[in-house]
Amino acid sequence: MQVKEFEVRIFDKELLEKELLDNPKGKNILKRYFPLSYDKWKLLDTKPNNLFDNYEPLEYVCCGKDLLIEKTGIIVFVQKRNTKYVCDTVDIYWVCKGECDEKKRNYYETQGYSTAWEDIGDIAIPGKYLSWNMAILNRMYDNIDRYEKVAFEKLKQFIISISQIVLRDQTDEQIKRLMELSQIPSWG
């Protein structure tokens, strides 16, 4: 007797998980039939959301690392010394920790500026993201901090960029509504 050979593919839990998570339609199946696992997975998922049509990395030119993905970078505030403000920020940049950071910091410090920094990985924590944004608003309102135009624009650019990994995905309905809202003139 001849035995016909055929290939067998066993869907163990790892393979099943991979197949479900690797494509967007799989996520809908997961959500529908494994709601508890889906909720757990969502909490651990740190992939960028769909805030923009296309994901925009937060890159530092020196080595091209995407600081949103690697979360090894810092945001640095370059500040003037001895002004009437506690922090008088003239420029803001983001950079990876270590050599790149040291080079950049040395440059500004020899020009007579001081620098303050915050971990990008920390600001990516939703609670920290919120308190960090609130602190900036409060300190501006209370005239403790001041930002020059360039620094203020960079600060907004950073907040927009990091929102891609802090905020949750927008549903199709919300995206549709967002498009309707953009037709209405507003103060935004």
- Using CB under 5 A, list all residues that contact Zn ion: 62-63, 96, 100
- Taking the least distance from each CB to Zn ion, the nearer of 30 and 96 is 96
Please say whether the beta carbons of 21 and 30 come within 8 A: yes
In whole angstroms, the minimum distance from the beta carbon of 93 to Zn ion comes to: 12
In whole angstroms, the minimum distance from the beta carbon of 104 to Zn ion comes to: 9
In whole angstroms, the minimum distance from the beta carbon of 159 to Zn ion comes to: 22
Q: How many CB atoms lie within 10 A of CB 104?
A: 17
Q: Please give the Cα distance from 138 to 160 (Å, whole number).
A: 19
Residues 6+ apart with CB under 8 A from 157: none
In whole angstroms, the minimum distance from the beta carbon of 97 to Zn ion comes to: 8
- Taking the least distance from each CB to Zn ion, the nearer of 65 and 146 is 65
In whole angstroms, the minimum distance from the beta carbon of 128 to Zn ion comes to: 23
- Taking the least distance from each CB to Zn ion, the nearer of 95 and 123 is 95
Residues 6+ apart with CB under 8 A from 4: none
- Taking the least distance from each CB to Zn ion, the nearer of 63 and 86 is 63
Residues 6+ apart with CB under 8 A from 42: none
Please say whether the beta carbons of 94 and 120 come within 8 A: yes
Return the HEC string of 28-93: HHHHHHCHHHHHHHHHHCCCCCCCCCCCCCCECCCCCCEHHHHCCEEEEEEEECCCCCCEEEEEEE
- Taking the least distance from each CB to Zn ion, the nearer of 30 and 95 is 95
